[in-house]
Amino acid sequence: MFFEQSNFHQTTSWFKIKPYSVTGNLELKEEEYVAQTILQRIAAGDKSAVQECLDTYGGLIWSLARRMLPNVNEAEDAVQEIFIDVWKTAERFDESKSSETTYVAMIARRRLIDRLRKTTRQPNVDSFEDILVEPSKNEDKQIQTSIEAKQAAKVLQDLRPEQQKVLQLSIVQGYSHQEISDALEMPLGTVKTHARRGLMQVREILEERNLNRGREVSA
């Protein structure tokens, strides 16, 4: 299946934080050791986490942008905007709702969908020269994905083929409902229904998982 999975990538790291005293005493008090994700560290003002964010998610965001946007320049602009969005919204990241990788992909998708809607979709209009200067592949790089992605893949396998196809073309490749309707010769309403139903099934499973996780934590 095209939804085949790779390894789950954990981005939590251990580091030292020094709490700031609000009583006006800038003397740093006791040090605490806490496990924080990259985004939590960015939200806490850790500069090194910004570089780490680029190292960890650069390939992912670039791949998503290149797949969904028509040309290299536009993808580059989008990737810059996405990183700024990720840093700015880092404090909104909630581990109980999603993994960090999924959160980053979610922010990236918002920006890419915005751009797609503003431009006429002409996928893959790389000129021959563009293809030739494509950066080389980093073969050893581990594909970063998330626990949610693994679960989504399982659910997708059980969906009807039309639902799979519509979700693949819309979510993975960024085609509009009209383009999918034209391409698959399927009524517009049916395209939307397939997309909604498929998405809702994935959502239900992920919600269930979050609930179970919540129960485990409270127990």
Partner 1 sequence: MSENLSKEKMLELLADQAVFGLSEKELQELRNLEKEYPKLKEDKSFEVAAAAINLSSVKIDKAIPQSLQAKILADADDFVGSKEIAEEEEQQNAVSTAGVVSQAVESNIRQVQFEEPKRPFWQWLTPIFAGIGCVALLLNIWLTYGNQNEVAEKPEKPVVEEPKELSPTEKREQLIASAKDVVKTSWTSPLKDENLKGEVVWSDEKQEGYMTFKGLAQNDIDKETYQLWIFDETQDEKTPIDGGVFDIKKNGEIVVPIDAKLKVKNPAAFAVTVEKPGGVVVSDREKVVALAKV
Residue 213 near partner 1 by CB under 8 A? no
Give the range of 11-19, 28-36, 134-142, 211-219 binding partner 1 by CB under 8 A: 134-142
Closer by beta carbon to partner 1, 13 or else 62: 62
* 140-179 residues near partner 1, rule: CB under 8 A: 141, 143-146, 148-153, 156, 161, 165, 167-173, 175-177, 179
Residue 128 near partner 1 by CB under 8 A? yes
Closer by beta carbon to partner 1, 187 or else 207: 207
* 63-102 residues near partner 1, rule: CB under 8 A: 63-64, 66-67, 70, 76, 79-80, 83-84, 87-88, 97-98, 101-102
Number of residues that bind partner 1 (CB under 8 A): 100
Closer by beta carbon to partner 1, 128 or else 219: 128
Q: How far is the CB of 219 from partner 1 (least distance, A)?
A: 23
Q: How far is the CB of 46 from partner 1 (least distance, A)?
A: 10
Cα separation, 37 vs 17, whole angstroms: 13
